[in-house]
Amino acid sequence: MADLRDAPLVLGIETSCDETGVGIVRGTTLLADAVASSVDEHARFGGVVPEVASRAHLEAMVPTIDRALKEAGVAATDLDGIAVTAGPGLAGALLVGVSAAKAYAYALGKPLYGVNHLASHICVDQLEHGALPEPTMALLVSGGHSSLLLSTDITSDVRPMGATIDDAAGEAFDKIARVLNLGFPGGPVIDRYAKEGDPEAIAFPRGLTGPRDPAYDFSFSGLKTAVARWIEAKRAAGEEVPVRDVAASFQEAVVDVLTRKAVRACKDEGVDHLMIGGGVAANSRLRALAQERCEAAGIRLRVPRPKLCTDNGAMVAALGAEMVARGRAASDWDLSADSSLPVTDPHVPGTSQGHGHNHDHVHEVAKDNLYS
């Protein structure tokens, strides 16, 4: 068995939305997971404000990195690489993380890895359940994404099977919570109220589940509109809105479609592992229904603990460590944030010749500065 000290030690930075995440992993072992969230600053607006998020990242970046290094018990000079979310996400927020990663990598003389946010959500499961089977089907569900992805190599081959054509599941949760006056973010509060409601009380529609609809794509806009109109009709008639039953019935409609399509994709592709990630993967009903349906279909379900499902630096560090372990090319210094980076690009490699020379030079500069 290889010595753990031989595994890549990588720091990951995540700033795609409203959370400043910094994680440190050694191989597939999590050493630190520091997060500074600006969600409270967005709550009064009922959603994430990009400019507010970017400024919060600027303020939180250095303290969060310092906290992660202290928690991991390592020095920055011990690192084997710096990984950062290059996309997709909010452009301004991504730029803060990419700029910080460049600065640290340059100053320390370490290789830089710009990685994909969605691929990172898949790779984080390695920190919980060990190496990912190849292939793995992944259902990623968050405020910005509802995607089915087939990964045969998390560092180089991730294939999109299906995606949302309008509202993502997490976005629908936020909007329905707002209509119900439950606050922001909507996911946790809907989950909480739904536990005391009847999921069969109201027959809300299941989008894109007809025989002629796309097999793996998702649509939650129609569901969101149907729920909002149902609530408005109750209020217009002067009737009390059964908040718990609405929450439970809405949630059931969402997770029913998500799990049904994910299991179908596994069966169609002959894949016996399903991984669920993203912020909505913390939803208790999604986890329970997925487990029930996977067991019935003979599929092994892998879901990280809730803290690793939401955006965090650990997932970025996990993918960065995998890039180092598999010898993938690091990124160049002109790495840029790409708000629409496709999942088919798990990372943004540089040109090997220019990159190697550049980092060799920087390493020498860093050594001179450290030991002069």
Q: Which tens digits make up the pLDDT trace of 162-192?
A: 999 999 999 999 999 999 999 988 999 999 9
Single residue among 281, 304, 327 that ends a domain in this structure: 304
Residue 121 in marked binding region: yes
Report how far Cα 182 is from the mean position of its chain's Cα atoms: 24
Q: Determine whether the annotation assigns residue 141 to a binding site.
A: yes
Q: Is 187 annotated as ligand-binding?
A: yes
- Looking at the fold, whether 81 and 180 belong to one and the same domain comes out as no
Q: Which amino acid is at 55?
A: R
Neighbours of 193 (CB within 10 A): 20
User: Do 300 and 323 fall into the same domain?
Assistant: no
The mean pLDDT of 214-221, rounded to a whole number, is 96
Q: Are residues 323 and 339 in the same domain?
A: yes
For residues 316 and 270, membership in a common domain is answered with: no
At 103-161, the pLDDT tens digits run 999 999 999 999 999 999 999 999 999 999 999 999 999 888 899 999 999 999 999 99
Residues 162 and 292 in one domain: yes
- Percentage of residues of the chain with pLDDT beyond 70: 91
pLDDT of residue 367: 41
23 annotated to bind ligand = no
Q: Is 143 annotated as a binding residue?
A: yes
CB 169, CB 280: distance < 8 Å:
yes
The answer, yes or no, to whether residue 239 has pLDDT greater than 70, is yes
- Say whether 359 counts as a known binding-site residue: no
Average pLDDT over residues 28-39: 91
Q: Are residues 30 and 165 in the same domain?
A: no
| 327 is an annotated ligand-binding site residue | no
What's the pLDDT band for 197 if we cut at 50, 70, 90? very high
Which of 312, 318, 320, 311 is CA-nearest to residue 104?
A: 320
Average confidence score pLDDT of the chain: 92
Could you read off the pLDDT of 4-18 as tens digits, one per residue? 668 999 999 999 988
Average pLDDT over residues 284-297: 98
Domain boundary among 245, 279, 304: 304
Q: Is residue 351 predicted with pLDDT exceeding 60?
A: yes
Instruction: For residue 55, give both structure tokens.
Output: 């400024």
Query: What domain range is 89 assigned to?
Result: 4-124+312-371
Ramachandran area for residue 333 (φ above 0: left; ψ -120 to 50: alpha; else beta): alpha
Domain boundary (258, 284, 304) is at 304
Q: Is the pLDDT score of 281 beyond 60?
A: yes
Confidence at residue 369, expressed as pLDDT on a 0 to 100 scale: 39
Q: Inform me whether the pLDDT recorded for 364 exceeds 50.
A: no
Q: Is 191 annotated in some ligand binding site?
A: yes
355 pLDDT exceeds 70?
A: no
Residues 18 and 117 in one domain: yes
Q: Is 312 annotated as a binding residue?
A: no
| Threshold 0.75, pTM exceeds | yes
Are 158 and 105 contained in the same domain? no
d(CA 269, CA 251): 27
Same domain flag for 163 and 282: yes
Together in a domain, 81 and 138: no
pLDDT score recorded for residue 352: 53
Give the 3-state secondary structure of the chain: CCCHHHCCEEEEEECCCCEEEEEEEECCEEEEEEEEECHHHHHCCCCCCHHHHHHHHHHHHHHHHHHHHHHHCCCHHHCCEEEEEEECCCHHHHHHHHHHHHHHHHHHCCCEEEEEHHHHHHHCCHHHHCCCCCCEEEEEECCCCEEEEEEEECCCEEEEEEEECCCCHHHHHHHHHHHCCCCCCHHHHHHHHHCCCCCCCCCCCCCCCCCCCCCCCECCHHHHHHHHHHHHHHHHCCCCCCHHHHHHHHHHHHHHHHHHHHHHHHHHHCCCEEEEECHHHHCHHHHHHHHHHHHHHCCEEECCCHHHHCCCHHHHHHHHHHHHHCCCCCCCCCCCCCCCCCCCCCEECCCHHHHHHHHHHHHHHHHHHHHC
User: Is residue 291 domain-shared with residue 166, that is, in the same domain?
Assistant: yes
Span 53-60, average pLDDT = 93
- What CATH number corresponds to the domain at position 119? 3.30.420.40
Quote the pLDDT of residue 365: 40
226-237 burial, b if ≥16 CB within 10 A, otherwise e?
bbeebbeeeeee
Count of domains for the chain: 2
162 and 280 fall within a common domain = yes
